[in-house]
Every structure is written in C-alpha cells, then in structure tokens.
Amino acid sequence: MANHEAAICKGILLAGGSGSRMFPLTHAVSKQLLPVYDKPLVYYPLSVLMLAGIRQVLIICAPEYQQAFRRLLGSGEHLGMQFHYAVQPRPEGIAQALLIAREKFLGPGEGVGLMLGDNLLYGHGLQRLLAQAVRRKQGATIFCYPVKDPERYGVVYFDSSGRPVQIVEKPSRPRSRYAVAGLYFYDEQAVRVAAQLSPSARGELEITDVNRWYLERGQLHVEMLGRGYAWMDTGTHEAMLQAANFVAAIEQRQGLKIGCVEEVAFRKGFISAQQLLSLARQIPNPYGRYLEQVVEEETGLRGQAA
C-alpha cells in the first residue's frame, strides 16, 4: 500500500443498546433514529466516518430496529457508500462490535474505524486529524476531550511530557479532565485483542481494555481535542437537547449544515453534483433546498436536469 493511501478503509457504526436512560422515548424507536434538530442522530457519527474517507460501513443495531435503519439509510449507494448491517442481540460492550464485525465484515489484516452512534463530533481541523488516523498502518488512535465531569467516562492520564500513561474507566477521583470520545481507529490487531477480553464487573467487553492493550505496548496515539471542537455524548434527554440547540445555533448563524451526509458525500467526491441535485429534488423542504444551494455554489448546476 502506498504511503498516501488510507490504511483503514472500513468503519463500524455502533447503534445498539436499549436506550433505557431515555425511556419512554426509546420504548418504540432506537435512540440513534431520534431527531437532533433537522436530521436523525445517526447522521452525525456517520458523517464523521465519511469525512475520514471511509466508504464501507457496518451498522450494528438492536434486532428490532434493523429494518428502520435499512429504510433510512438503504444500501448506501445513493451516497457512493456501501452499508452493511448486523445486529447486537444484547448490549455487551463497545468492544463486542469488533467481534460482530469479524464475522462477515472485516477481512484478515484489515483495520477499522469505530464510532458510537450517539456521539456528535465537530470542529475546524477535524478532517486533518481523521486523515492522520486512517493513514496509520500500525497501532490505534483515540480522541480525548476536556470535560467538567470526567468521572462519567474513560479518562486518559498523561505524564509531565504530555505522553499518555494510563486509561481509567469512570474514576471516582479523576486526575485528568480528558475523556475518551466515542471514536476509535484500530489496526488489524484489535479484533484479536477483543476476542481475548473477559467481561468486566458490569458484564461488558470494555473498549477501554482494548485501548489499554495498545497503550501498554506503546502503540496508542492520542489526539487532543481542545478549544474549537465540540464533542457531545447524547445519552440523556438533556444532552440531546443541548446537541439540538448547538446544531441549530451553528446552522442558523452560518447557513451551513452539520452532519449532512449528502453534502459530505458530494464534497468527498463519493457522488457527483448531478447525483446530489437528484437527491435534493427528492426532499421538498428546506433541507433539500440547502442541498440545491450546495450544488449551485459549487458548480452552478442548479435548475439543470438531473
């Protein structure tokens, strides 16, 4: 593989779980299908994988919601993507996604990008960090973000030189404010590591244990997301509302959309201007008109036949 090519070409979007913290909203619908302002929650993490240049994505969800995800996202062909689907029968940890992907999605020697389906990540310069992560042929890359309540997350501790030295899951007395965001890039070793894990005290295969394995071997790259970035874990009603308000404020002020998978597909060269215009015309509302505007601004093709 040439140096300029991506080492990681496949992605996993983990959209499983029962969403019990958001009952009764999630009694009848997957949390990742709930709206965050003007689009489904799942669009936001999916757009991040697309920004990384990943065009084959395995979408893992609870069995009862697979058809709903298929109706929303289809085969991915309309976005120049390939979507595959698998079920997570029971929520038994993030690392379980690697074992599910091993069955029918990941081939020998393939690395993977894994993102949680309820996470939103946004910021100038994000594409550059994503590009660095997918180009790495060895090791793992995780992303850290300063939070005021690190005891809720996996937390990275650093030495005086800024090198990561420890990852602690939900520490009662955290010595760092840097939480691990729900986005991970792994080389081919990760599947084997996940297969060797034992369930934690809460009965889950912990992704923190996978990250620790890489850290102990000096193969963990940690990207710091400081000022200028937004990371939101939308696991509660309050967090969903905050995410919706954030997206609304940015979009209404700048006139640019966050997590718009159709626009990302176009700007990454996965689909043509004509294909984007065709998609826009199937959405007879301001969202569709925004896609038409993207085409007009970039190519001047608005109004021409698709």
- Give me the CATH code for the 10-135+184-203+224-269 domain, please: 3.90.550.10
Higher-pLDDT residue of 182 and 302 is: 182
What are the extents of the domains in the chain?
10-135+184-203+224-269, 272-300
Q: pLDDT tens digits for 7-34? A: 788 999 999 876 677 777 777 888 899 9
pTM score, two decimals? Answer: 0.92
* Percent of the chain residues topping a pLDDT of 70: 95
The CA distance from 80 to 267, in Å, is: 12
Q: pLDDT tens digits for 85-110? A: 999 988 889 999 999 999 889 998 89
Which of 97, 115, 137 lies closest to 221, judged by CA? 137
Q: pLDDT tens digits for 112-169? A: 999 999 999 999 899 999 999 999 989 999 999 999 999 988 999 999 888 999 999 8
- Is 191 in contact with 102 (CB distance < 8 Å)? yes
Mean pLDDT, the chain, rounded, equals 91
- Token reading at 269: 């060269």
- 275-298 mean pLDDT: 94
